[in-house]
A and B are shown apart, each in its own frame.
Chain A
Amino acid sequence: MSDLPFEEAVYWTLIDLANAFLTGTFIGGYYAILSMGLALSFGVMRLVNLAHGEFLIVGAYLSAVILQILPIPPFFVLIVVVPIMFGIGYALQRFLLNHVSVQAMERRGMSANFGLMAPILVTFGLGIFISHLLFAIFATDAMSIKNSLAFSAIRLSMDLSISTLRFIFFLVAIAMLILLQVFLRYSATGRAIRAASDNPTYAALMGIRTDHIFAIALGISLAISGVAGFMIGMTRTFQPFDGPQFILVAFGVVIIGGMNSITGSLVGGILLGIVQVLAGTYFGPSAQLVGGYMLVLAVLAFFREGLFSR
């Protein structure tokens, strides 16, 4: 450092910062998609879905396997993966989780705090079941989705570039966020989801079938996780027991952004991304995760409910 002329040192400092912010921001889009489903299911049903990480991995395997069978361009696999994941989520909520939901517990006269526990335990068990099922099918061979974009980058200047995939994921995250908000705000089903979330008893008085509506909500949550799983497969290898490391990221993001805020998951994702990259740049790779979790702790300390919680 000290050998460099002053102008050059300033230049590299700025480049490092710009890199950290750019890379962090674009990683944030990917993080947002990893977490959006978790924020949605918590926001709508107060469901703390501990199997969220495993569903991401299911999405990754589903994408990879279908792409091995069908010779289509990678992104087209989503046309199949998204509906399948939606179906799994719908069925899961309709036939299992509705019976152990916070709302079901409240109907039985339990307090909300106590009622929160039942679905947590059930999804915890479900996560273990899913990872072992994946293990039984695929063993521990690391899998990934082969694609030509994995190592391509968009050059912004001589010393600044961003990964093409991250850039695409960022755009996808923004598109999904807008789509989801428009759906929740302006469609009859979206309004029904919000009404059922607000007060299921009186939503029923409006003719809303809350069982069906909650099932749609988890369907959407898993459909998003399907997209996220595909993105995991596009950028790295994965194994059946990788779920927990992703749910940690997702929890970090929703704690920063606000447990029930979908917009918060984008902001939370970007903040987490930037802090991680900054920590990594200045304190070495091992500081990345630590830096991220320090941000999570800081948000918890100063904004109990996250930055965007309603």
Chain B
Amino acid sequence: MSTLVRKGNLFSQPGRDGQYPILTVENLSAWYGELQALFDVGFSVNTGEVVSVIGANGAGKSTLLRSITGMMNRGKTAKIEGRIDCQGRRLDKLRTEKIVETGVTMVPEGRMLFQRMTVSENLLVGAHLPRAREMAPEKLEEIFAFFPRLSERKNQPVSQMSGGEQQMVAIGRALMSQPSVILFDELSLGLAPIIVDDIYEKVRQINQSGVTCLVIEQDMRRALDVADYVLVMLEGRIVLDGRPEELSVDAITDAYFGTHEAGGHA
């Protein structure tokens, strides 16, 4: 089924399935100095969906999320070109702190918690935005109800917690900002399969509560399980996309490893 492999930029016209997209990426290219990490990437995410991005190490998945959240604009060496829109606002020229105001946030690769702060403090920092700050106490209780393990460890420094617990803090911190879109980067990294199951169950619940999710995942099965739509990245490009039920495992594997040109059918 290697004929299903298509090259990037399919969705420059918003409105896949006639639905209203909450997030649109068009002709996105990204560089770290001389090194180009993304080539003309385009896709859209419809409101309320879970879209999974899969791809091998170095495919450019994290770079894609960093581009959306404005982190490629912070340094002097990294830069992006192209267009990113979310809920009617153009993100690609905004600074990170403005982008999160529009309702996008990220659970970053490696969690990136504030190491010298407690669980509660990390969560409260997540509610720094004016729109979230007023509701912070109620929201905090919600998060503790959602992750009971965290409520037992409220005042513990996050540096003393297990990887799974830290991941919960990272997710809770993102939820505290009351986002409409969350970008999840490799939630399963370094965690035991049982814990990953739990975490993905939480992602599903978050999605059901109305939050649109873009999920980056190396584990193909999990990515397909959770997704309404799948993008496969290879060397900085989207090489395959579709609904999980439309895509064959062979096609995805070929796209993932870049073996489609070699034929694939042995």
Chain A residues with CB under 8 Å of chain B are: 107-109, 188, 191-192, 194-195, 198-199, 201-210, 310
Say if the beta carbon of B139 comes within 8 Å of chain A: no
Distance (whole angstroms) from the CB of B161 to the closest CB of chain A: 16
Cβ–Cβ contact A192 & B114, under 8 A: no
Cβ–Cβ contact A207 & B117, under 8 A: no
Residue among A198, A199, A208 making CB contact with B128, cutoff 8 Å: A208
Across chains A and B, the number of contacting residue pairs, with CB separation under 8 Å, is: 75
A178–B105 Cα distance when bound, in Å, is 35
A191–B127 Cα distance when bound, in Å, is 11
What residues of B have a CB within 8 angstroms of the CB of A208 in the complex? 97, 125, 128
Cβ–Cβ contact B96 & A205, under 8 A: yes
* Interchain Cβ contacts under 8 Å between A and B, 29 examples: A107-B75, A107-B76, A108-B77, A109-B75, A109-B76, A109-B77, A188-B128, A188-B133, A191-B128, A194-B114, A194-B116, A194-B117, A195-B128, A198-B114, A198-B117, A199-B114, A201-B71, A201-B74, A202-B112, A202-B114, A203-B125, A204-B71, A205-B106, A205-B108, A206-B128, A207-B132, A208-B97, A208-B128, A209-B97
Residue among A206, A210, A310 making CB contact with B173, cutoff 8 Å: A206
A310–B75 Cα distance when bound, in Å, is 28
A100–B128 Cα distance when bound, in Å, is 26
Say if the beta carbon of B29 comes within 8 Å of chain A: no
Main secondary structure of the interface of B (DSSP, over half): loop
Quick one: closest A residue to B120, CB to CB? A191
| Interface residue total, chain B, C-beta cutoff 8 A | 30
Say if the beta carbon of B208 comes within 8 Å of chain A: no
Main secondary structure of the interface of A (DSSP, over half): helix
What residues of A have a CB within 8 angstroms of the CB of B117 in the complex? 191, 194-195, 198
- Give per-residue flags for B110-141: 1 if the beta carbon is below 8 A from chain A beta carbons, else 0: 00101111000100111011001100000000
What residues of B have a CB within 8 angstroms of the CB of A310 in the complex? 116
Residue among A195, A198, A205, A209 making CB contact with B105, cutoff 8 Å: A205
Distance (whole angstroms) from the CB of A9 to the closest CB of chain B: 52
What residues of A have a CB within 8 angstroms of the CB of B173 in the complex? 206
